[in-house]
Structure 1
Amino acid sequence: MTVQTLLPGSTPDTPAVRHHQVAWQPEGFTRPLDRLVYSPHPVSLPADADATWLVGRAVCLLGADTALVDQVGGELTKAGVVVRRPETDGSTPDGVDGIVDLNVLGSGYALTEQSWQEPMRQSARALHSVYDRWVGEARFGRHFYVTVTHLGGRMGYGGTRIPQPLSGAWAGLCKGLQYELPATAQKVVDVDDITPDRIARVLLLECGRWDLSEIGHLAGERTTLMSAKIPNPEPTLDLGPSDTVVITGGGRGIGFVAAEGLAAATGCRVVVTGREQPPAGHVWLDHDDEEFAAWRWRELQATEPGQLRETRLRIERATNARTIHQNLKSGRAKGLRIDYVPCDCTDPAQVRELFDRVGGPTVLMHNAGIDNAVRFNQQSPDTVVRVVSVKIDGLATMLAEIRRRPDLAAKLKLVSGVGSLSGRLGGMIGQVSYAAANDGLTRLNCWVRDELGIPAQTVLWHTWEGVGSIVRPHSAVRYTSTIEPSDGMAHWVREVLSGTQTEVLFMGRFGSAIVPHQLRNRLLLMYGNADYTRWTSADFHLGELTRYQLHREIECVNVLRRADHPCFADVTVGGRPAVPASVVLEHAISVGDWVGPYPWPRQHLQEITDIDIRIDALVFTEDELHLVKRGHGTPLPDGRWQVTVEVDRRDGTRVASVNLVYGESPAVVPAVDAADVTGEDQPLSAGQRYRSNGLVFRVPRWRKTTGGQEIALPAVTPTDLWMLPFEPEITLPSGVVEALLAVASANNDDMRVTISRIVVAPGSTKAVRLLSTQDGGAWTGVTESGMSVVRIEHCGFGGLRRTPDLN
C-alpha cells in the first residue's frame, strides 16, 4: 500500500493550498482502489423546467433508420426546431447549432451483425466537418452533440430489457468528446420507446439542460447512473488445472498481468492471444534492454531515405514480439501454464481455428483493444470503426463461434470484458474512439447476460503503473492516479472468480484534468472517494458555466440567495445585508482551478495580488445576488502562471478583481518572532460601513505588542459559513480577511477595499493570530504552534495601502 507524498511544509493536518494538480508525481503514485458498481437513480427536473430551448435552433439530425429520422425531424419541426440533414458527402450543413444523433435506434441486434459500422462512419463524418469550428468556440452550449440510445430507458441497468446494445458505442463517443470539444455541450439520452413523438418530446426536454451527461427516460421517470462503493466479493467460480481461460489481447500489458494472476491463483491453463505471430527465430528476442536499444538504433541508422515509416513499424512489431516472448519466458520460469496463440478476434476463421486448437474456455476474457491516440478529427471514419470493432465485433465473433458449438457453450462459465474509465466518463484527449469502444463493450456484455443467458461482467480500469501501452503515463497521471500492478491483479482475479454479473469499476484518485461541465458526472462516481470533498467544493463554487476554453478562460455564474447560508445573515454594508468579502474572495479563487497551463502540470496557489473589492456591490438585491466570474490565464516572465479574475454583478457592476499566481511548489511565509504584549486585550472597533453582526464572524480582540499589534482570531469553519451536507474546502482563513476589513473600515466611509498581496502557504486556514509589522503595513497569520501560514500586505479602504493603527 502506498500513500500520497506530502508536500514541503505540509502535514496530514495542514494540506497544501488549492492547486491545479494534486500532489502526486508523474510516476510512482498509486493508491488503494475503491470497488464501484452502478445503478439508476432518479433525477428530478426543476419546477420551472420547460421544453423551449431547441425552438428556433438549427439541428443536424443523423441516424441509420431514415424513416425514423424523417419522422422525428417532422415532430421537431412542428415544435419550431430547424431540422437539417447531412450533406451528400456526410458533412454537417453550415449554420447548424448542434447535432442530434439517432444512430442505430431502429434495429435490434444479433451476434456478428455489423450494420452499426456505416452509421458510426456517418457520425464521425458529421463531427469531423464541424470539429475545427466547434473547437475554437468558447461559449459553452453554443454548439451541442446529443445522442439518443435505446438501452431500455435505464442506460442498460435496472433490470430492463436492452433492445439495442450497440447504441452504447454512441454513448461512449458522446462522452469522449468532452476534452476535445470542451465548450461543446454533450448529452446521452436513453429512451425506452423509440416512437417519433416520444423521441422528440424527450429531446425538447433534455436539450439545453446540460446538468448531467447521461440521462434515462422510462415510463415517465428520469434517471442517471450513480456509483456505490461495495466490499470485495467472495469467489463462486471453482477454477482449477482442468479449466482453460482465454484472454484476447493478453500477450502484453495488463492482459498478461491477469494471465499470470489467474494461472498462479488457480493452476488453470491460460491461453493469451494477439494479432502478432508467435515470436521465434530473432536474435533480439532475448536481448536485454540495453542490447535491444542498441539494435533499434542500428536499424534506424541503416534506414534509407523515405523508408523511415516502414522501419519504425518493423521496430514496433519487434518490440511487441520481444515483450510477448519475455512474458511467456517469465511465466514458464514461474511454472505457470500460459500459452500464446495468434488470433485476430474479429476474424471468424481465425477464431474457429483458435478453438479447434485450444478447446472451449471456461472463462473468456475479452481484453483486445487498439487505441489510435490522436485527436478525433485526425482519425478517419474507417479508423474509428476499426477501434470500436475490436471491442464489439471481437467479442461477438468469439461468442458466435462458442454458441455454434454445443460442446464449447456447455463449458463456458463466464464472459469477462475488460473496459476502461474512458467508456464510463470519457477518456483523455485522443481517446474518443476508445471511449466509444469501451462503453459499447460494457452495454454489449449487459445484453449478453440478459438476452443470451451467459454470465457476463465488465471490469473497468484506469491507467496501470508501468504496464500497458494505451496511454503515456506522464499524460495519464494528470487525469487519474495510477494502479499498482499487484493491487490491480489481486482485484481482477478476485472479480473473475466471483462471477459478478455487472459493470465494476476500480477507482483510485482523480487528477486535475477535469473540464468543468464534466464535474457533476464525476461526482456521481466519487461518493466516499478521497477526492469527494475536493471536487464537491469545486462544484459548489463553479455555478453555471457560460464560457470555457482549455488553459485560457472560463466564465460562470453563481446565484447567491440570502436565505441559503448563515454567512449571508451576518454582514451588512450601510446597514443592508451583504455577502461577506471573504466569501467573494473564495469564489474568485475557485475560478483558478479551471484555468491551468498546458498540460495540467502540478501547480500551487502561492499568492493573490492586486485585490480590489467594491463593498457597496456586495449588497443583496431582492434577496439574491448574481456573481458573474471570469478568469483568464497567462504565463508570467518568471515561469509562474497567473489567472486574472473579475467578478461582476449581473448588471455589469464590478464587485471584485484579483490576480491568482501559481507555481510549481507551495509558497513559504517568512517566520515572525513572537512579540511581548504591551497593551491590554480589547475588542476591535466595528467599521462604520462594513460590519459583522457577530453571528459567524465574531468580533476579534487585539492588543499592542513590542513588534506592533496582535489580533486573536475567532475560529471560522466551513460549517459556520455554509448550510450544506458537506463542508466545502476554503483556501483563505475567513476570520483573517474579515478581521482586517474590520480594522481597515474603522472610521472610514469609503466603499473600496484594496489589498496588494496575500501569500498563502499550506495550512493557511489554521491561522489563529495576526501579527502586524511596526508600521502596520503587513500582517502575518500564525498557527497555534507559531508557524507562519499567511501574509497580507497593504490592506486599506479607498486605495489606502497601509492598515490604520488600531488606536
Structure 2
Amino acid sequence: MITARVQRFVWAGGPAPNGPAPDLSGRRVAVIGGATGAAEAVTGVLVDRGALPWQLGDSGTPDAVVDLTFAEPFAPDSPDAAEGALLRTLAVLRACYPDWSEETDARRLAYLAVTYLDGRSGYGDGPIHQPLGGIWAGLAKTLHREIPNINARVVDVGRPDVAGLPDIAAAELYATGPAEIGHRDGIRHALTPRAQAVGEPSVPLGDGDVVLVCGGWSGIGFELARTLARRGCRVVVTGRTRPPTGSEEWALLDDAEFDDYRRDLMRRAAADGTVRDTRERIDRLRRRRTLQKNLSAAEGEGLPLRFAHCDITAPDAVADLIAGIPDLTGVVYFAGVDRPARLPAKSDRDFLAGVAIKVTGFLRVFTAVRDRELKFFCNSGSLTGRLGGMVGELDYAAGNEALARLGLWARRVSGLDVQTLCWPLWQSLSASSNVDAAVKYMPAMDPADGLGRWCDELAAPHSGEVAFLGPVDTGISVAQAGQFPAERSLPGFAEVHPRVFHLGDPVEWRPGKRLVSEVRFRAEDTPVTGDVLVGGDPALPITLLLDNALRSAEWFAGPVRELVDVEVDLPGLRLSDGEIQLLRTTSAESDGSLRVVFRTGAGAQIAAMTGRCREPDDTAPQVPGSDGEPLGVAASTVHWRGLVVPLARWRQHPCGTRTASLAPCADADLWAAEPPPTSLLPTTALENVLRMALSGTSTDRLLIGRITIGGDPQRADLLVAEPAGKTWYAVDRGTRQVALAVRGPGADGT
C-alpha cells in the first residue's frame, strides 16, 4: 500500500462571487423537507423560472432535487430527531437511483442540500441553528461517487426563515464552483483550505492525565490509546464488544487453529442453512479476539490502560462511564463503523445506524462531560466528511460531516475546547473494509506519522477543524472538477490543476469510456493566441490544442505518452471574435488507446488523434560536432511571430542534420490564468519543429505521424532534425535524454 506524507490544513471563510443564473427551463425538480411552507415557496420560484414540479409518486424521475433537509432548532437531548427527514431524503434518492446512476448527460442532474448552521457553514460567529445539517452535507459531497454525473452541492442559510431562501435555492441549483456555499446578510461565502502548521505545545500531556478514548478498543483508536499510555497518561478505552472471559473454546485458539474453527462452523452452517447468522457470529468472535489481543499486549507492556464496556449511544451507560472517571482530563471521540455498500444495497436501518454512532454517541459523551474542566475534547473525523467519501460511503460521510459540525456547535455553546481532526485512510489500521478501493482516492497515511501528529494536536492550541491531506490528484472526479479550489498548497495540486483546467464544460461522461466537453479558448485568457497567425488571423497554437487532448485523456488512464495519426485543420484554429469554441470527444478504444476528436459546434472536424499510454523508447540522436550554417525559415500557412514563444535559429550541418537551440517559454506566458496550468508538451520545442516542418508550404492540413513524450519535456534545450526531415527530436543536452520525438510532421504526414 502506498503511504504519503500529509499536510495539515484548516478552513477559512471568505466572500464568493455570484455565478450566472442557471437555466431551469423544462427541468423537473423535486423540493422536499424544510420548515412549514418552505417547500411550496421554493417550488413556486422554481416554476416561475421555468422548472416543472415533481414529487414522489409521479411518473419518471426528477432532474434535480432541492432538499430543504431538517429545519427544526437543534435539541441536543434528541439526537435522532432528524431521522424522519433523513429517511425522506433516502426515499427520494432510492427512487431516483436506477435512472440517475446510469445517466451519461453531464448537465442534467442536480442535488442541492440546504442546511441551517450560521450562514457560513459553521465558520461564522453567530449561533448555530441546526448542526445536524452536516448529515446532508456529507451525503451531498459523496453522491458523485455513486452517481457520476450529478451536480451535488450544499448551501447554508443560517436559519429556515432567512429572507430570500427560495431565490437562494433557485440560484444555487446547478451552480458551479465550491461544493459548499453560505449565504449570510446578503453575502455569498465559501470555505477555502489553508495550510497551517500545528501550534507550539500549550497543554502538556503525561503523568496525572486521564484520557478517555471512546471506541478505542481496536485499530487506530487503540494505537492512539497505547501511545498516550506510553507517554504516562492513564487511558480508558471503550467499545461495545465484550472481552472473552478466557474460558471460551475459541478464545484459547491461536490464529491458525481459529481459522480451522471458523471453517468448521461454516461447513455446519452450510448444512443447516444458517450461513448468514454464522458469518455474523464469526465476525463477533473476531472482534472479541482482537480486543483480547490488544488488552493482553497493553498489559504485557505494563501500560496504564483499561477497557470499559459501554454502548456510547445509551445515555445511562455513558453517564455511569463518566461518573467512574472523576479525574478525567481529556476525551478522544473515536467511535464509528465503515461498511461500504452502494445505496440500493444498504438498508435504511443500517444507514441510520452508521450515522447514529457518530451523532448520538458524540452528543451522549459531550453532554456527560460538558461541565468538566478538560484539557481537550478531540473528535476523530474523516476526510470522507470534509471532502466526500468513496463509493458506498454515503452514510459514513454523512456521519463524519455531522460530527465535525457538531464539534463546531459544541465549541461555541460550552467552555470545552472541542476539535475535530479529519484523517485520511491509515495504512493497516483504518476501519474501512475496502482498503484497496480507498487508496485509489488518496494514498494511505503512515501510522507512526499519524500518531505523532495526533499527540501534537492534543498538546497544542486547538482550532475547530483540521484536515490532513495527502496527494489529492487521483481522487478528483469529473463531477468534482468544478469544485476544486485553486489552492497551490494542496498536495497533488500541480498534478490535478491542469487536468481540471483543461476539462472544459462536460456535456457527456461515461466513466472510463467517453468524455465529451465544450472547450473554449479566449484571447484574453490565452495571450499566446496573438503570437500565432493562420492566414493572417490570430489562432490557437497547435501545441495548446494537443496539450488539451492529453489532459482529457487523464480522466481515463494516465499518462498518455504518445499521440499518433494527428490531423489538424489549420484554418479551423483561427479565433472568431477573440475566441475559439470546440467540442472535444475523448473515447476509449478496444485496444486500450484513446481517440480524441475536436469539432466545431456545427460538427466540422478540426483535429483528431489517438493517444497511447506506452512508455517512450526513443534514443538520443547524434548531434553534429560542427557549427553548421544558418538556415532560414520560409513563409507558410502558419506564421509564428515570436512575441511569446521564442523562435529558434536553425543551422544546417554538412551531414544534412539540422539543429536549433531552444529558449524556455514559461506557462505563465501562455495563459493569463492564476495559477497557469503546466504543459505536458514542450511548447517552444514543438512549435519550432512545426515552424520548420511547414517552412515554404501552403496547406490547410497538418499531419503528424507520431509524437512521443519523453522524460522531462520542459528540460529540452536542443532540437535535432534527421537529414531526411522525417524525425525531429527535442533533447536535454545535459542528460542526453529525449524529451520529445516527432515523426512525419508536414502537409502529408510522411
Q: Same fold (TM over 0.5)?
A: yes
Q: Quick check: 2:525–2:673 contact (8 Å CA) kept in 1?
A: no
SS at match of 2:441: coil
Query: Does 1:732 pair with 2:702?
Result: no
Q: Deviations over 1:136-174 (max 9, x none)?
A: 111113011111010111000021321010011111111
User: Are 2:11 and 1:38 equivalent residues in the alignment?
Assistant: yes
1:132 maps to what in 2?
Answer: 98
**2:27 corresponds to 1:57:** yes
One of 18, 29, 36 as aligned partner of 2:3: 29
Q: Secondary structure at the match of 1:748?
A: coil
| Counterparts in 2 of 1:354 and 1:220: CA distance versus 1, 3 Å | same
Counterpart of 1:317, as a letter, is R
Which residue of 689, 694, 699 corresponds with 1:745? 694
| 2-structure distance, mates of 1:286, 1:752 | 78
After superposition, what is the alpha-carbon deviation per residue over 1:496-550, rounded to whole angstroms, capped at 9, x for unaligned? 22251400111121241311231353436x5313422222222222222222222
1:490 equivalent in alignment to 2:438: no
Question: Quick one: structure 1 residues 646 and 326, their matched pair in 2 at CA, closer, same or farther if it must change by over 3 Å?
Answer: same
Distance in 2 of aligned mates of 1:94 and 1:533: 43
User: Is residue 16 of structure 2 the alignment partner of residue 67 of structure 1?
Assistant: no
For residue 153 of structure 1, give the secondary structure of its aligned residue in structure 2.
coil
C-alpha offsets along residues 441-465 of structure 1, whole Å, 9 cap, x if unaligned?
1111111111234321101000111
Measured on the aligned residues, the alpha-carbon RMSD in Å equals 2.3
Q: What residue is the counterpart of 1:723 in the other structure? A: 672
Q: 1:349 maps to which residue?
A: 316
Quote how far apart the aligned CAs of 1:693 are.
0.6
Shift of 1:687: 3.5
Judge conservation of contact 1:109–1:163 (CA < 8 Å) in 2: no
Q: Is the 8 A contact 2:526 2:672 kept in 1?
A: yes
> Residues 101 and 588 (structure 1 numbering): CA distance in 2 closer, same or farther, change over 3 Å?
same
Secondary structure at the counterpart of residue 582 of structure 2: strand
2:424 is the counterpart of 1:476: no
Q: Distance in 2 between matches of 1:333 and 1:684?
A: 82
Tell me the secondary structure at the aligned position of residue 475 of structure 2.
Answer: coil
Q: TM-score, normalised by structure 2?
A: 0.94
1:429 aligns with 2:391: yes
- Between the aligned partners of 1:604 and 1:135, the Cα distance in structure 2 is 27
Query: Which of 660, 664, 668 in structure 1 is aligned with 2:611?
Result: 660
Q: Which residue of 2 aligns with 1:120?
A: 86
Distance in 1 of aligned mates of 2:717 and 2:596: 28
CA distance 1:103–1:530, shift in 2 (3 Å): closer
Q: Distance in 2 between matches of 1:683 and 1:715?
A: 21
Which residue of 537, 543, 551 maps to 2:512? 551
Q: In structure 2, how many angstroms separate the alpha carbons of the residues matched to 1:126 and 1:653?
A: 42
Which residue pairs with 1:456 in the alignment?
Answer: 418
Which residue matches 2:569? 614
**What is the rounded CA distance, in whole Å, between the counterparts of 1:660 and 1:60 in structure 2?**
42
Is 1:763 paired with 2:728? no
Letter in 2 for 1:36: F
Within-5 A mapping of 1:116-265? 116-195=82-161, 198-265=164-231
Determine the C-alpha separation between the residues in 2 that align with 1:506 and 1:229: 10
Whole-angstrom CA distance in 2 between matches of 1:435 and 1:471: 15
Q: How far apart are the structure 2 equivalents of 1:487 and 1:730? A: 34
Q: Does 1:567 align with 2:528?
A: yes
- 1:787 aligns to 2:748 (yes or no): no
Structure 1 residue 736: Cα displacement: 2.7
Taking a change above 3 Å as real, the CA distance of residues 42 and 611 of structure 1, as seen in their structure-2 partners, is same
1:83 aligns with 2:44: no
Residue 637 of structure 2 corresponds to residue 689 of structure 1: yes
Distance 1:325 1:686 in 2: 82
* Partner residue, 1:446: 408
Confirm whether residue 361 of structure 1 aligns to residue 328 of structure 2.
Answer: yes
Instruction: Pick the aligned partner of 1:674 from 623, 626, 648.
Output: 623
Q: Give the 3 Å change call, closer, same or farther, for CA 189–576 of structure 1 in structure 2.
A: same
Query: Aligned to 1:159, what secondary structure does the other structure show?
Result: coil
The match for 1:465 is 427
Q: Supply the distance in 2 between the matched residues of 1:753 and 1:291 (Cα, whole angstroms).
A: 70
Partner of 1:399: 366
Pair 801,75 (structure 1): closer, same or farther in 2 beyond 3 Å: closer
Letter in 1 for 2:234: R
- Per-residue Cα deviation, 1:402-433 (whole angstroms, up to 9, x for no partner): 45xxxxx3344432111111101111111111
Match of 2:604, as an amino acid? T
Secondary structure class of the residue paired with 2:651:
strand
Change (3 A) 1:698 1:78: closer
The structure 2 residue matched to 1:268, chosen from 221, 229, 233, is: 233
1:352 alignment partner AA:
A
Work out whether residues 103 and 170 of structure 1, in 8 Å CA contact, stay in contact via their aligned partners in 2.
Answer: yes
Whole-Å Cα distance in 2 between the matches of residues 493 and 337 of structure 1? 17
Cα shift at 1:283: 5.4
Counterpart-to-counterpart distance in 2, 1:769 and 1:588: 25
Tell me, in whole angstroms, the C-alpha distance in 2 between the residues paired with 1:511 and 1:317: 37
Q: Among residues 645, 651, 658, which one is paired with 1:702 in the alignment?
A: 651
Report the CA distance between 1:249 and its aligned residue. Answer: 1.4
CA 1:750–1:225: 2 relative to 1, 3 Å: same
Work out the percentage of aligned pairs sharing the same amino acid: 28
Hey, which bits of structure 1, 4+ residues long, moved more than 6 A?
Answer: none
- For residue 417 of structure 1, what is the aligned residue in structure 2? 379
Q: Which residues of structure 1 form unaligned runs of 5+?
A: 1-26, 404-408, 597-602, 803-807
Give the corresponding residue for 1:279. Answer: 244
* Local SS of the residue matching 2:466: strand
Q: Distance in 1 between matches of 2:352 and 2:77?
A: 17
The 3 A distance-change label for structure 1 pair 578 and 77 is closer
Per-residue CA deviations over 1:311-365 (Å, capped at 9, x if unaligned) read 3323322322222222222222333211122222112233234334444632222
- Contact residue 373 and residue 416 of structure 2 kept, 8 A: no
8 Å Cα contact 1:252-1:468 kept in structure 2: no
* Pair 1:690–1:78, CA change in 2 (3 A): closer
The 3 A distance-change label for structure 1 pair 722 and 494 is same
Give 5+ residue unaligned stretches, structure 2. Answer: none
More moved, 691-700 vs 574-583 = 691-700
Contact map agreement 2:543 2:683 (CA 8 A) in 1:
yes
Does residue 338 of structure 1 match 2:305?
yes
Contact residue 685 and residue 746 of structure 1 kept, 8 A: yes
Higher relative contact order (CA closer than 8 Å, sequence separation 6+)? 1
AA at the equivalent of 1:605: V
Count of matched residue positions in the alignment of Structure 1 and Structure 2: 746
Distance, in Å, in 2 between the alignment partners of 1:742 and 1:355 is 77
Deviation track 1:281-326 (CA, whole Å, cap 9, x = no partner) reads 2455576655544544454455433333333323322322222222
Change (3 A) 1:82 1:76: same
